Amino acid sequence: MGEPRPVKVAIIGGGCASVAAAFELTRPEHNGKYQVSMYQLGWRLGGKGASGRGPADRIEEHGLHLWMGFYENAFRLMRECYAELNRDPGQCPIADWRDAFVPAPQIGVAERSPDGTWLTWKAMLPPTEGLPGDGANGQQRWSIVDYMMRAVALLRTLFETIQRQDDGGHLDGAEYSAASWSDKRSPGVVLDGISQLLKYGELATLAGLTQAVGFLEAVFQSLSLYPENIILRLLDAVGSNARRLLEARLEHDVPLRRAWQIIDLTLATLRGGVRFGLMTDPRGFDAIDEYDCREWLRLNGASESSLDSGYLRALYDLGFSYENADASRPRIAAGQALRSMVRAFFTYRGSFFWRMCAGMGDIVFAPLYEVLKRRGVRFEFFHRLRNVKLADPAALEPGESPYVEALEFDVQAEVKEGREYAPLIDIRGLPCWPSRPDYSQLVDGERLEREGWEFESYWDERRARPRTLRVTDDFDLAVLGVSLGAIPYVCREIVARDPRWRAMIDHVRTVATQAFQVWMSEDLRDLGWNDKPIVLCGFAEPFDTWADMRHLIAQESWPHRPRTLAYFCNVLPDPDGSNGPAQREHCQAQRQQVRLNAIRFLNGDVAHLWPNAVDASGEFRWDLLVDPTEADGAGAPAAGEARFASQYWTANMNPSDRYALSLPGSSAYRISPLDRTYDNLTIAGDWTACGFNAGCVEAAVMSGRLAAHAISKSPRLEDIVGFDHP
C-alpha cells in the first residue's frame, strides 16, 4: 500500500490562533503528516495583531498589545519559535526571546478626584519567580479554594501593611507576600476564636482584624468543616469593622483608600465565592457568568465607591468591555472577570506585564512566519475567503456528519511568475512587515497601486480571479481562523442551518476599536510626566488607555529622533449605534471621527498627564509632533492642528478586526474548537470556547492549540495550560 498520504490542512486567516495551530501541526513529532497551507488576505499575517512599518520605518499598530505574565501558552509558543529560529545576534537586533519581550511592571490607573484633577494610582507588582512559558505546569493546577486562600493572604498583607504604616511605615506600593499562615489549629479552636472575636468587639482594632483574617485563612483551608453562616458572618464582621475603623481616614489618605478598595472587593469576592458555592461548583467560575462583574460584587456587599475604583475600571478598560462600545455600559461576565483577575494576579511569572520591543508583527508574526516556512508551510497571501460551502445534506450517507465541501476564495492579486509572495522587509537586520504590499511582486502591480486597491478592507471586493478549493482534491481538513466578526459573511450556509452558530453570533458580540500614535520631540519628563514608563488605564474617554512606548523609538529609523512615543486606544462605537459592520461610506467618516477624537483629546485631556505639552492658552503644542516626511529646511512645515496629519491613527472597522467581548451570559454560546459537528472543520480564535473566554493573545493561542488537538489529538489537553482550570 505504501505510506498514507499527508493530510492537507487549510488554515484560513493568519492571526494568533491560526499560527499557533500551524505551529503545533508542523511539529517534527508529526513527521510531516500534516501538510499545512495558510490562506491570508492582503500582504501580511497577524490579523488584529498585524503591524506595519511606515515612513521613517515607524511602527504602525492596530492598537495596544500587552502581554501578561500568565500567558503561559503564548510565551511558550514564542520561546520555542525563537529557539528554533536561532537568529544570529550579530546580524539581527532581536535574536533571543528576551530581546523581544521585556518586563513592564508598572501599571497605573487614572482616577478623577472630586475637584476635577486626575490622580494616577500606580501599582508596582513585584516580580515573581520563573518566567512565563517555563513549562512544568502540570503540577500547577489551581482550584477556586486555592485562589480564595491566596485572596485571604492578600487581605492579611494589606492589613499588616496598613498597620505598619500606622506604626510609621509607608503604604504606597503595597507589596504582598505569598507566605500563608499555616498554623494548623483544630476547627473547634478556630471556631471558638472566631466567636470570641465576634462577641467581644475586638475586631474594632487593626490587630483584631489581622487576627480575624488569620482565622479566615484557617477556615478556607478546610472549608467543609465550617458552617457557611459562620464564614459569612466573619467576612461581614471583618468588612464592617474595617470600614468603620478606616472610614475617617479614607477621604484624605489616598493610598489608604486604595488599599481599602482592594480589601472591600476581595471581601466581596470571598463572600460571593461562599454564597454561590463556587468552591464546589463543577462549572467553576462559569457558574456566575450570567452576572456582570460589578453587579455580582455589588450583590455580595461591595460598596459603590469600591465598585467605582480605578482598579475595576482598569479591568473593564483592558478588556474593552463596553457593550456596543458604549462607555456608559461597561459589561463583563463576572465569571470570566474573576478568572482573568485570579490568573493575572496570582499566577503571573516574571513580571505582571510584558512589553514587546518592536511592532507585534515584527516580534510575533515575522519569526513565526519564518519558522513555519522552514517547516514547509505554504503561504498563500492575497487570498480572501468568501464562503465556506457545506456538502448537500441530502447527499450525505447514512451515519455521515455534515462537512465542508469547498472553500471559495477571491484571489485579490496574483504573484508574478506564479511564485510565492515574499512578504517581509529588512529594517536594519530585523525582518518586518511593511505597511503596504510590495506591488513589484504582483501581476499588474503598478495598476493596482495606482487604483489604490485596499486589500485589507472588507469593502474593497476587487480581485484578480476567484478560486475554489475542493475537499480531498485541495484540502482535507480546514481550520477557520477568521475572526468572529467575519463569520456571518463567510459562513452564511452554516449560520443559516445551524442554530448554535446563529446563537453564537447573536450572543457573542464584538466591538470596533480606535487608536492613535504620536511621536513628540520632547522628553516626557520635560512634558511634565515624571515617572517611569507606564501603561495607564481608566483615563478620559474616548482614549482611556495610554501606553508609553518610548522603547520602540530606537527600532524606527528617524533622521531626528523623537523623544517620546505614546499610544492611545479604546473602543469605537458603530455609527448610529448600528452595532454591526458599517457601510463603506462610513469608513471614511469613522476615520475622520477618530482623527477629530484624537485632536480634541490632545487639546483637552492630555494636559492632565503632560502639563507642559500644552501652551498657555491650553491648546496642545502641535509643534511637538514629529513629522517623518519632514527633512530639515525642506519646504514650509505644517502648522497647528494640521500637523496631526503626519501622525498615525486608525479606525479598526473591518469585521475581522472587531474585538470579541465577554458579555454576561455569552460564554455559554461560544463554540469550542473541539466541537466536531462538521467532521472536517474546526475553528480557532479568542472568540471560541477555549477555556479562557476573553479577547487576548493567550486565549487565541489556546484556541489554536485546541484546533490542532481537534485535528491531530496533539497537544494533549492537559498540556494546554489553563484549559483545565476553574
Partner 1 sequence: MSARKRITRPQLERTEPMRHWPTLFGMAGSGAPQTEGKAGPAGRRSLNDAVSRSVDLGYRVIDEYIRQGQRAAQRFTDRSYSTQAMTGDVQELAMRVGRYASEFAAVWFELMQAAVTGVAQRQTAPPSNGARATAPLSPSTAPSAAQATTPGYATAEHARVRIVMTSLRPAELSLDLRPDAAARPLLVHALRAVDPDTPRVTDVVFEAAVNGDPPTLRLRVPADQPAGVYNAVIVDAETSRPAGTISLRIAPE
Partner 2 sequence: MDTAATLVPTVLKEYGDITRVALCDYLRPREPQRHLYNLVADYPRRGGRMLRPSLCIATARAFGAHLEDAVRSAVALELLHNAFLVHDDVEDESDERRGRPTLNALHGVAVAVNVGDALTLLALRALIDNRNTLGPWLSMRVLEEAERMARESIEGQAIELGWRRDNAIDLRDADYLDMVLKKTCWYTTIYPSRVGALIATRGGVDLDRFLRFGFFLGAAFQIQDDMLNLRGDPARYGKELNGDILEGKRTLMLIHLLREATGDERARLAELLSQPRAARKIADLHWIRERMDVYGCLDYAGSVAHGLAGAALHEFSLLYAGLRESRDKRFIEALVTWVLERT
* SS3 label, residue 638: coil
CB atoms within 10 A of CB 278: 24
Beta carbon of residue 227, minimum distance to partner 1 (angstroms, whole number):
12
Nearer to partner 2, 225 or 596 (CB): 225
Q: Which stretch binds partner 2 (CB under 8 A): 393-401, 438-446, 566-574, 715-723?
A: 393-401
Contact 44/61 with Cβ under 8 angstroms? no
Distance of CA 346 to the CA centre of its chain: 18
- Under 8 Å between Cβ of 333 and 553: no
Contact 335, 287 (CB under 8 A): yes
Task: Kindly tell me which residue out of 29, 166, 183, 400 binds partner 2, with binding defined by CB under 8 A.
Answer: 400
Among partner 1, partner 2, none, the one that 399 touches (CB under a kind-dependent 5 to 8 A) is partner 2
Beta strands at 106-112 and 425-427: parallel, antiparallel or unpaired = unpaired
Amino acid present at 439: Y
Q: In terms of Cα–Cα distance, which of 720, 713, 49, 142 is closest to 356?
A: 49
Provide, rounded to whole angstroms, the least separation between the CB of residue 281 and partner 2.
Answer: 6
398 binds, among partner 2, partner 1, none (CB under 5 to 8 A by kind): partner 2
The residues that bridge with 545 in the sheet, in sequence order, are 569
**Is the Cβ of residue 284 or residue 691 nearer to partner 2 in the bound state?**
284
Find residue 651's DSSP bridge partners: 514
How far apart, in whole angstroms, are the C-alpha atoms of residue 488 and residue 480? 13
Report the residue number, 483 or 682, with the smaller CB distance to partner 1. 682
In the shown chain, the binding pattern of residues 661 to 690 toward partner 2, with x for contact by CB under 8 A and - for none, equals ------------------------------
Nearest CB to partner 1, comparing residues 31 and 224? 224
For residues 345 and 342, give the distance between their C-alpha atoms in angstroms, rounded to a whole number.
5
Is the Cβ of residue 534 or residue 681 nearer to partner 1 in the bound state?
681
User: Exactly one of 399, 499, 618, 635 binds partner 2 (CB under 8 A); which one?
Assistant: 399
Residues making contact with partner 1 (CB under 8 A): 7, 138-139, 141, 143-146, 149, 220-224, 279-286, 401, 403, 470-473, 476-477, 668, 672, 674-676, 679-682, 691, 709-713, 717-718, 723-726
The listed partner (partner 2, partner 1, none) that binds 713, CB under 5 to 8 Å by sort, is partner 1
Is residue 295 within 8 A of residue 330, CB to CB? The reply is: no
To partner 1, the closest distance from the beta carbon of 69 in angstroms equals 22
CA distance 611 to 163: 36
Among 188, 282, 393, 452, binds partner 2 (CB under 8 A): 282
Which does residue 286 touch among partner 2, partner 1, none (CB within 5 to 8 A, set by kind)? partner 1
Compare residues 308 and 473 and give the one whose CB is closer to partner 1. 473
Nearer to partner 2, 140 or 401 (CB): 401
Strand 545-548 relative to strand 510-520, pairing? unpaired
Longest dimension (CA), the chain: 88
Which CB atom, from 45 or from 274, has the smaller least distance to partner 2? 274
Beta pairing class for 51-53 and 535-537: unpaired
Torsion angle of alpha carbons 711, 714, 716, 719, nearest 10°? -120
- 510584558: which residue's cell? 354
Q: Which does 397 bind (CB under 5 to 8 A by kind): partner 1, partner 2, none?
A: partner 2
The count of residues interacting with partner 2 (CB under 8 A) is 9
Task: Decide: is 499 part of the binding site for partner 2 (CB under 8 A).
Answer: no
Q: Considering only CA atoms, which of 546, 426, 355, 421 is closest in space to residue 57?
A: 426
Binding to partner 2, residues 241-280 (CB under 8 A): 277, 280
Residues near partner 2 (CB under 8 A): 228, 277, 280-282, 397-400
